[in-house]
Copies of this chain bind each other. A is one copy, B any other.
Amino acid sequence: MIDKGRVTLPAEEGLETKIANIIDRWGADAVRDSDGTKLTPEVKHMASKVYSKYFFTRGDQEWAKANPDERQHFYLMSEPITAHSEKVLIPIMKGYFDEQVIPDTDHDIKKWWEVIDRTTGEVIPTEHWTYNEETKEVAIYRVKKWHIYTVNFLAYQLWDPVHLYNHVTNQWDSEHHIPYDPRYPKTRKHILDNLKTWLDDHEDTDVVRITTFFYNFTLVFNDAAEQKYVDWFGYGATVSPLALQAFEKEKGYKLRPEDFVDEGYYNSPFRTPSKQFLDWIDFQQRFISELAKECVDIIHDYGKEAMMFLGDHWAGTEPYGKYFKDIGLDAVVGSVGDGVTLRMISDIPHVTYTEGRFLPYFFPDTFKEGGDPVGEANQNWLQARRAILQSPIQRMGYGGYLSLALKFPDFVDRVEEITDEFREIHSNSKGTNAYKAPFKVAILNSWGGIRKWMSHHVHHAIWYKQCYSYYGILESLSGMPFDVDFISFDDIKKHGIPDEIGVIINAGDANTAWSGGKAWVDEEVVSTIKEWVYNGGGFIGVGEPTAYQSQGRFFQLSDVLGVQKETGYSLNTNKYNTLYDKNHFILEEQHTPINFGEGMKNVYQANSEAVVLDMDDSDVTLAVNQFGSGRSVYIAGLPFSPENTRLLLRSMYWVASQENLLKKWYTSNVQIECVAFPEVGSFVVINNSYDTQQTTVWKDNGSKVDVTLEPMGYKWFEI
């Protein structure tokens, strides 16, 4: 018999009887409100804990309207305009949604805006342009014909982007939430006062669910109210004249509008970050964490828990940033899109517990006739479960309108099973760590640990053609028996490569932050890595690893990788790729053609010692190489699948020269994984597929056991 609890239920007025039943069946011990729902006292009494959402910077629209000069900002770039004559008119709001943003002319535009010749990169002298507030056009005089011009302008936010998103998506008809900026002392004080008032008013609340702190991730809409620019990790909304002045004082130098606009790329996480942007992140993280701590302290003073939602206004509160621990949060809750987002939540340090909000949301897009809520829940659970076993969240929950879910009894049944299974994981593992390989894996990119589990994303668990062939590495890893570090090139320069790391993975498209770009011509970086591999380290490159065109090489570590990419310059050099060793250790469980996703064209064998394991037409898609005592594997791309997870697993043991350790808590069937908890003497075997599966399981002492599992099933054993 498994205890109940660990589950949070979204409650709703008028469903009291049914809620009692659901609380019982799902074992919920907490209830929460959602956007548009309220909790009645009756419901509150059914659960041990009550969560109430709280918005710091969009909760008080009276304040926002009374203090328009303290609204939040964006730096935006106008559409580029090609000059056809001596004078150019740029309608700066073209392509933007005028209900979301408005140019800020309260602050001196000649100081805070920038007009740029995008053919040369030169800044246009301020005396050569004017702005017409009526038409919202910048006129540039004495331009160079045929050059391209843009305006970097500061804009006020008129509508909180998430509120806008919910509004448009759900066709709400409510007042627009305007976000206000706690950089302004008056607003800062108001936010703190407001929090106290709200706490006074919410005696029943046990957990303040902060959604989130102060600045939303960057989310800008176009003139059709569609998403135009979205960066889930972005700092676009943190900018203001006040903050820029404070930055200058603190860091000793001034930022330009272009430092935010970044040629129109807005410091996308795919860009290798500039010093300026890294300084800005540091500057804002400090400010935000200090103020957040003040808020959390107040919450604690009221005897309540402070739980942060991982998303929405989370700019500056990255849980892996260096100031996060100072905030003093009790918990983080986040939406579980897959294994990666699960780990992004469950690996968060410095909190008492983490909680996952599972899919699907109880929203009409899924909970409608023809919808498949059970299918969505199953997929979500299968991806989350393997990650939870490696690194558990302590609680789970759902969001949306419970009334919708109740119309789907098979969904209610399935969630009952899932919540039971979730609790069983906790009761059997007893909070101990899952078995891990005796070496760590490091993902090497320009961001490193500050964005752990956050590489190769644009937005929360959303599929992108240009990402999935790399994201698959993370999704595979999220449920694999490895401790995973994310390290940056700067880490390597400052600290070298820590002893516990056995495998370094570098994956991404050339010149992105994930591959690393110019870092690969930093002699210290490449020398440190080469020495480490030469002395026995393992290196896995995916896509365009170590890529930067210089000195006759595109993959700078072609000596380590054994492969190179043809960029046209060496077409006159004959290539003699030959497929070799179809029975290599890492291929042993590949019985069908490997899916490399988008793959990578024009990769070829760079030295005769490299061993090509797979090719697509004449291009190398999989190769291994020995470099001194170390090893490398090159993979063209690795979308998430059971087969590819196994390919990665075998690649890791092979590059780490630890093939003999592979078969510990190992399964003969790639659809099945085994996770052991040696401290408590138990292990679980899970079926990640929708079919019945059989497998042999290798324990860590070489003994084997045969297991058959129902579709999506699992079995716990004693060691």
For residue A658, CB closer than 8 A to chain B, the reply is no
A534 touches which one: B80, B84, B148, B231 (CB < 8 A)?
Answer: B84
Please determine whether A119 and B523 come into contact, CB atoms closer than 8 angstroms: yes
Please determine whether B264 and A570 come into contact, CB atoms closer than 8 angstroms: yes
Closest to A553 in B: B118
Please determine whether A628 and B230 come into contact, CB atoms closer than 8 angstroms: no
For residue A403, CB closer than 8 A to chain B, the reply is no
Given the complex, which residues of B lie within 8 Å of A628, measured CB to CB?
84
Given the complex, which residues of B lie within 8 Å of A118, measured CB to CB?
551-553
In the bound complex, CA of A527 to CA of B513 (Å): 32
For residue A227, CB closer than 8 A to chain B, the reply is yes
For residue A145, CB closer than 8 A to chain B, the reply is yes
In the bound complex, CA of A234 to CA of B553 (Å): 21
Given the complex, which residues of B lie within 8 Å of A229, measured CB to CB?
572-574
For residue A511, CB closer than 8 A to chain B, the reply is yes
Please determine whether A572 and B82 come into contact, CB atoms closer than 8 angstroms: no
A572 touches which one: B119, B231, B508, B601 (CB < 8 A)?
Answer: B231
Given the complex, which residues of B lie within 8 Å of A570, measured CB to CB?
264-265, 268
| Residues of chain A from 213 to 227 with CB closer than 8 A to chain B in the complex | 218, 222, 226-227
Closest to A77 in B: B552
Given the complex, which residues of B lie within 8 Å of A146, measured CB to CB?
526-527, 530-531, 534
- Binding-face segment, A63-71, A203-211, A459-467, A679-687: A459-467
Given the complex, which residues of B lie within 8 Å of A617, measured CB to CB?
465
Please determine whether B466 and A571 come into contact, CB atoms closer than 8 angstroms: yes
Please determine whether A572 and B531 come into contact, CB atoms closer than 8 angstroms: no
For residue A691, CB closer than 8 A to chain B, the reply is no
In the bound complex, CA of A232 to CA of B413 (Å): 72
Please determine whether B231 and A576 come into contact, CB atoms closer than 8 angstroms: no
Given the complex, which residues of B lie within 8 Å of A511, measured CB to CB?
549, 567-568
For residue A512, CB closer than 8 A to chain B, the reply is yes
Please determine whether A566 and B263 come into contact, CB atoms closer than 8 angstroms: no
In the bound complex, CA of A569 to CA of B266 (Å): 9
| Residues of chain A from 569 to 584 with CB closer than 8 A to chain B in the complex | 569-574, 576
For residue A121, CB closer than 8 A to chain B, the reply is yes
For residue A228, CB closer than 8 A to chain B, the reply is yes
For residue A271, CB closer than 8 A to chain B, the reply is yes
A265 vs chain B, min Cβ distance (A): 5
Please determine whether B148 and A458 come into contact, CB atoms closer than 8 angstroms: no
- Encoded as 1 (CB less than 8 Å from any B CB) or 0, chain A from 270 to 299 comes to 110000000000000000000000000000
For residue A380, CB closer than 8 A to chain B, the reply is no
Please determine whether B574 and A226 come into contact, CB atoms closer than 8 angstroms: yes
Please determine whether A271 and B569 come into contact, CB atoms closer than 8 angstroms: yes
Closest to A218 in B: B572
| Residues of chain A from 83 to 123 with CB closer than 8 A to chain B in the complex | 84, 116, 118-121
In the bound complex, CA of A371 to CA of B511 (Å): 49
The verdict on A559 contacting B121 (CB below 8 Å), with A270-B569, A566-B466 known, is no
A574 touches which one: B120, B150, B227, B567 (CB < 8 A)?
Answer: B227
Please determine whether B512 and A574 come into contact, CB atoms closer than 8 angstroms: no
Interface of A is mostly: loop
Most buried by B among A146, A147, A229, A465: A146
A118 vs chain B, min Cβ distance (A): 4
For residue A618, CB closer than 8 A to chain B, the reply is yes
A542 vs chain B, min Cβ distance (A): 14
Closest to A598 in B: B601
Please determine whether A270 and B466 come into contact, CB atoms closer than 8 angstroms: no
A441 vs chain B, min Cβ distance (A): 23
Please determine whether B270 and A552 come into contact, CB atoms closer than 8 angstroms: no
Closest to A566 in B: B466
| Residues of chain A from 522 to 555 with CB closer than 8 A to chain B in the complex | 523, 526-527, 530-531, 534, 549-553
The verdict on A467 contacting B230 (CB below 8 Å), with A146-B527, A263-B552, A530-B146 known, is no
Given the complex, which residues of B lie within 8 Å of A549, measured CB to CB?
511
Given the complex, which residues of B lie within 8 Å of A160, measured CB to CB?
none
Given the complex, which residues of B lie within 8 Å of A150, measured CB to CB?
552
For residue A38, CB closer than 8 A to chain B, the reply is no
Given the complex, which residues of B lie within 8 Å of A256, measured CB to CB?
none
Given the complex, which residues of B lie within 8 Å of A550, measured CB to CB?
121
Please determine whether A569 and B268 come into contact, CB atoms closer than 8 angstroms: yes
Closest to A601 in B: B598
| Residues of chain A from 403 to 460 with CB closer than 8 A to chain B in the complex | 458
In the bound complex, CA of A618 to CA of B466 (Å): 11
A268 touches which one: B80, B145, B572 (CB < 8 A)?
Answer: B572
Residue contacts A-B, CB under 8 angstroms, 26 given: A82-B530, A118-B551, A118-B552, A118-B553, A119-B521, A119-B551, A121-B550, A121-B551, A145-B531, A146-B531, A222-B574, A229-B573, A234-B572, A264-B573, A265-B552, A265-B570, A268-B569, A270-B569, A271-B569, A464-B571, A465-B602, A466-B566, A466-B571, A509-B567, A509-B568, A598-B601
